[in-house]
């Protein structure tokens, strides 16, 4: 039997599958390296982010000169962490 601790991660990795390859790769890379034991708040924010449509995620995750929208201000640290993970590994 699979524990609940790994179920959330499998579900998150499944939700990373996107129509935009770039977005999918950013999300999969980030989620695959997360520890199995995350705080409930962190999991909720991750699933809220993964619930966004492809175009929104693409715009939020790729670094631009545009500031992130204030609507998702509680997700800014997560978005910046995903961006940082990608940029750190591809410089």
Q: Kindly state the DSSP code that residue 73 receives in the 8-state scheme.
A: G
Residue where the block lists tokens 């991660």? 9
CA torsion sign for 20, 21, 22, 23 is positive
Averaging pLDDT over each range in 3-7, 8-12, 68-72, 86-90, which range is the top one?
A: 8-12
**Tens digit of pLDDT for each residue in 30-80?**
999 999 999 999 999 999 999 999 999 988 888 777 788 887 899 999 999
């Amino acid at each position: 039997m699979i524990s609940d601790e790994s179920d959330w991660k499998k579900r998150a990795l499944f939700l990373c599958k996107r129509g935009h390859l770039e977005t999918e790769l950013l999300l999969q890379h980030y989620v695959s390296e997360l520890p199995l034991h995350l705080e409930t708040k962190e999991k909720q924010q991750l699933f809220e982010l993964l619930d966004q449509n492809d175009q929104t995620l693409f715009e939020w995750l790729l670094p631009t000169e545009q500031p992130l929208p204030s609507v998702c201000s509680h997700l800014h640290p997560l978005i910046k962490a995903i961006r940082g993970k990608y940029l750190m590994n591809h410089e």
